[in-house]
Amino acid sequence: MCGIVGLFLKKDELRPQLGDLLTDMLITMTDRGPDSAGIAIYGDETGGLKMTVQSDTPAVTFAGLDAALAEVLGGPVTMKVVDTHAVLDLPEGTEAAARDFMKARGIRVMGAGASMEIFKEIGLPKDVAARFGIRAMGGSHGIGHTRMATESAVTTLGAHPFSTGDDQCLVHNGSLSNHNQMRRVLTEKGFAPQTQNDTEVAACYISSRLAEGANLGEALEGTLDDLDGFFTFVVGTKNGFGVVRDPIACKPAVMAETEDYVAFGSEYRAFAKLPGIDTARVWEPEPATVYFWER
């Protein structure tokens, strides 16, 4: 069992409330996943590259990180430390060098992109959301996950969302049965998962398909042929939001749409506080059917 929530805004008016709405949705899914929680939020673009990094010893690790990085990258770097995470704003074209820098220092990269920031930790969703101040965050869309671990350990890196490409993230309810096989295939293609987690394999799969030129819908369609097991996936890209369920569709899913937003929840109760939910179109996504929205 796990809990998934997602919110994709169609109008800008709700942008300042995105974090607040997502936090309430996430907390209602605590029963489905009390082990860890995470959220990917697509906020304002800065013109550069945002990189979210994590450390278990933030006070030591993040001290002077921005200055050291600026020197190596040869350009201005700003840093916003949020609990165990830091969001770095880097000059364009420096991602590879920045990733090498992090790797050498043992700092974990949670994700990178023009607008996506990603925060995840072990603990109850309400505590994780409070530590990162998710309520105060604005943005165009976001995806959250509460995890009840089955396929790999309860760790920060095993928490969802998984990001394996710029501005891409994926969350998963279910368990994959061919992830070891797919891990080998994806590693050969240059999309090697960093953990033993089955969900990260799915994220790498989507990233590989997008890199090959597929659009989000085509990449999601591919999961139905190439991934075996139980899954409800919700995927975010810089401009898009997608959902797909496996053909058996045991893992629960419900969606709601109004003129203002598209929302996803593992259960209806995740929607209870959304504005206009009483008159929203609410439906259960069909098995083996891809749903996606792009702006």
Q: Which residues make up the interface to another protein (CB under 8 A)?
A: 247, 249-250, 252, 254, 267-272, 278, 282-284, 286-287
CB of 18 to another protein, least distance (A): 21
For residue 239, count CB atoms less than 10 angstroms from its CB and return exposed for 0-12, middle for 13-18, buried for 19 or more. Answer: middle
Lookup: tokens for 227 = 């991934």
* Distance from chain centroid for Cα 209: 17
Strands of the sheet containing 85-90, edge to edge, are 78-82, 85-90, 49-54, 108-113
Closer residue to another protein, CB minimum distance, 24 or 218: 24
- d(Cα 24, Cα 184) in Å, to the nearest integer? 38
CB of 137 to another protein, least distance (A): 24
Catalytic residue at 204?
no
Q: Which of 45, 49, 53 is nearest to 94 (CA)?
A: 49
Closer residue to another protein, CB minimum distance, 132 or 233: 233
CB of 269 to another protein, least distance (A): 3
CB of 174 to another protein, least distance (A): 14
Closer residue to another protein, CB minimum distance, 228 or 267: 267
Closer residue to another protein, CB minimum distance, 157 or 254: 254
Lookup: tokens for 92 = 């364009």
Active site residues: 2
